[in-house]
Chains A and B, each alone.
Chain A
Amino acid sequence: MLKELKPALMMLVVLTIITGALYPLAVSGLAWALFPTQAHGSLVTRDGEVVGSTLIAQGFTEPGHFQPRPSAADYKAEASGASNYGPTSGPLIDQVKARIDALRAANPDAAARGPIPVELVTASGSGLDPHLSPGAALWQAPRIAAARGIPEAQLRTLVSSLTEGRTLGLFGEPRVNVLALNLALDALPAVVPDGAEPPGT
């Protein structure tokens, strides 16, 4: 085997240069020329300031915003993560019950509307899932309408206008981007209902 070490070492050096340097650099060059926004993380700016990435969920807790799926990583985009709890895990079930209680408290008519969509109380795989199903977004509409003093119908229109269908009508699941929803909400002219605080104060 000793005789093999010289060609092995040379091969490793040469293939490292090709696959470890030339290849990623060539892909980077092409990517920056062809798809500069995506190559740099699909960042979203508002008034010249980076407010997030369209692909990455961020935490929303105010009643006037759509809330994304729960995150086991606390929406930390430098440390993605999941709960990894198995289906018979006691901590999982306690956690889901606590989320159900919190949702019911924040959405006063929730109890009357029957079971809660499963994705609103289960943590996503990445902790950064940027989407909700249209159903889970609409489930939050009454709370947002009340907090912002806007009609629910307007929220329904917003959700359906931002809903992405299956790719080619076939692949994936219908979904709506939570950050895009909330950016659109924040861009609405503020209407303050009687006796309610405007959002974000």
Chain B
Amino acid sequence: MDSAGLLQIALYLVILTALTPVLGGYMARVFGAGPAPLDRVLGPVERGLYRLCGVDPAREQHWTHYAASLLAFNLLGLLALYGLLRLQHGLPLNPADMSAVAPDLAFNTAVSFTTNTNWQAYSGEAALGYLVQMTGLTVQNFVSAATGIAVLVALIRGFARRGTRTVGNFWVDLVRGTLYLLLPLSIVLALFLVWQGVPQNFDAYVTAQTLEGGQQVIAQGPAASQIAIKQIGSNGGGFFGVNSAHPYENPTPATNLVEMLFLLALAAGLTDTFGRMVGDRRQGWAIFAAMGVMLVIGIGVATWAESATNPALIAAGVDGLGGNMEGKEVRFGVANSALWAVATTAASNGSVNAMHDSFMPLGGMVPMVNMMLGEVVFGGVGAGLYGMMIFVLLAVFIAGLMVGRTPEYLGKKIEAKEIKLAMIAALTVPFGVLGLSALTLVVPAAAASIQDAGPHGLSEVLYAYASGTGNNGSAFGGFGANTPFHNTALAVAMLFGRFLVILPVLAIAGTLAAKKTLPASAGTFPTHGPLFVGLLIGVVLIVGGLTFFPALSLGPIVEHLLMTQGISFTGAPQ
């Protein structure tokens, strides 16, 4: 790794850290009590919206009611998107005449975008019309992100409140997240992207007469408006097939930096929002620190791996100084591609600016591990921090067992009920990843989707189901995911990974809100210091990660060893 690359990575981390209190403070004002900064402009719109929808914003909800509102809204969103995808051939704004999306693919895509996964078993410019991209996908990009933030805010209220039955109002959290947070940021980012070269039009695909006398058809569309929110809302679904590797989606190093910052900016900011809302900002920074340490380790491993050139290519006569450039773009180079890969899987974003399938074995393992840990290294907007809170509860529980005291966190007693609920959420990931990967490997029709022979084929399967269950959406793209089996199984993985975490988290929010808050005493385990940060990292790596070690050994680790021996695999995958 050259010094220019290291400098870029260091600057990225500095800017991300500097943005955290700014965004964190803003979000605390949007979701806390009291007026928000844009109230004067957006207040009337917000109130009009509640009146139109028959929602009383002052009416707080019990957690079960909050969950019912959330599920109803997401269910209708899923059905509406499915309908748009199935009917797109009859809809306007479809200059490339895209036909209806097949039922299994439409179901997979509808689930994918409502669960904030944005797994794409299709290629945007070759499958979808402009109207569906806008009114179907862009909408879910916004509201699935706002849903994730809403769940987190409800959980934070559970910690912050005492002796109440309610955790907030889902409709208010949904609307405020969309109007005050996601929409203004998206407008600014979208215009920045257009300035740098991202298209925003409703033109027909352009046919160019190339310099050597050929023809080139160039896809167009309202890309910038969708790309802005896919980065901000940790969605990640590309307008074009190759996502942010596409020069229309990410044309310059400047767009790359800004898109990469927004991969993590809101999720990082929410740690500070959490600290502010529970009245002790050190608690937020402690969690930021634990996430930051894991992020830096991941970046280190991935950049080191990608800086190497494939030994088999060097043997064939390729310059060994260039790094692993298969599937990467020149304007980003190795450093920005590795950094993006780690950031996008730390977040549950899943947009890519280089092809993870062509990463070196250990370079591709880092994104996989990030997803297997449950995407708690900053993670998705809202989803990352509420996922991390599951590990926080487990960490204080383990600490409590070690000293023989009832565990407490932020003055709340953590009891058997919370730990049971936390375990449901924690077990969802291994169930989805390992269970469904195993199923794929024993069903011949499902295993036929594997592209590469040898251990890399196993990595493709593990990556797909880690991505689906983790609601990430990035892929080892060689895996032929667009089959009825995988469209269905991945949809199941995405639904489990989303709602089997959201429901326990909301239940925890409800039980915590009802508890009284105990004053800290000399025996209270402090949760804002380095000891707790270290314990939390340990719990994430051991509880979250160890389950996957055998599978990783058979995939990327053994592939790395074989690659260094110059071994390659030809023929059908076994």
Which A residues form the contact surface with B (CB < 8 A)? 1, 4-12, 14-16, 18-21, 23-24, 26-28, 30-32, 34-35, 38-43, 49-62, 65, 69, 75-94, 96-97, 100, 114-119, 121-133, 136, 166-167, 170-173, 175, 179, 182-183, 186, 200
Contacts and interface: CB of A to CB of B under 8 A. Distances in A.
Given A31-B224, A126-B329, A131-B330, A81 B242 contact: yes
Give 10 nearest A-B pairs by CB, closest first: A172-B253, A90-B570, A118-B322, A125-B245, A84-B478, A86-B456, A4-B72, A20-B135, A173-B333, A115-B319
A51 B360 CA distance: 37
Interface string B49-81: 100111100000000000011011101110010
14 contacts: A4-B72, A16-B80, A20-B135, A21-B134, A38-B199, A39-B201, A79-B241, A82-B357, A83-B358, A121-B313, A126-B245, A127-B242, A136-B330, A172-B254
A75 B361 CA distance: 27
B201 A40 contact: yes
A53 B361 contact: no
Contacts of A118: 309, 313, 318-319, 322-323, 325
Contact of B49 (A14, A41, A131): A14
Interface string B278-298: 000000000000000000000
Contacts of A41: 199, 201, 203, 206, 218, 220, 248
Contacts of B138: 19-20, 23-24
Q: Indicate the size class of the contact surface on chain B.
A: 35 or more
User: B53, B252, B312, B331: which has the most chain A beta carbons within 10 Å?
Assistant: B331
B488 interface: no
Nearest to B179: A18
User: A43, A62, A172, A179: which has the most chain B beta carbons within 10 Å?
Assistant: A172
B220 A40 contact: yes
A119 B325 contact: yes
Interface in B249-308: 251-254, 256-257
B136 interface: yes
Nearest to A94: B570
B331 A52 contact: no
User: B68, B210, B211, B353: which has the most chain A beta carbons within 10 Å?
Assistant: B211
B73 A128 contact: no
Given A78-B126, A125-B355, A15 B330 contact: no
Interface of B: 4, 7-8, 11, 49, 52-55, 68-69, 71-73, 75-77, 80, 96, 123, 125-126, 134-136, 138-139, 141-143, 171, 174-175, 178-179, 183, 186-187, 190-191, 194-203, 205-212, 214, 216-220, 222, 224-226, 228-229, 240-242, 245-248, 251-254, 256-257, 309-310, 312-314, 316-320, 322-333, 336-337, 352-355, 357-361, 364, 451-456, 459-460, 476-478, 559, 562-563, 567-571
A124 B329 contact: yes
User: A41, A115, A116, A131: which has the most chain B beta carbons within 10 Å?
Assistant: A41
B178 A15 contact: yes
User: B171, B229, B358: which has the most chain A beta carbons within 10 Å?
Assistant: B358
Contacts of A21: 134-135
A14 B51 CA distance: 12
Contact of B202 (A7, A14, A20, A28): A28
A7 B318 contact: no
A170 B6 CA distance: 10
A37 to B, nearest CB: 9
Contact of B456 (A34, A89, A166): A89
Contacts of A18: 178-179, 183
Nearest to B8: A171
Contact of A125 (B7, B198, B353, B364): B353
A48 to B, nearest CB: 11
A86 B357 contact: yes
A34 B364 CA distance: 40
A11 B69 CA distance: 11
A28 B225 contact: yes
A38 B194 contact: yes
Nearest to B203: A40
A167 B258 CA distance: 12
A153 B314 CA distance: 30
Contacts of B214: 58-59
Given A19-B143, A27-B224, A41-B248, A125 B568 contact: no
A128 B190 contact: no
Nearest to B567: A88
A81 to B, nearest CB: 6
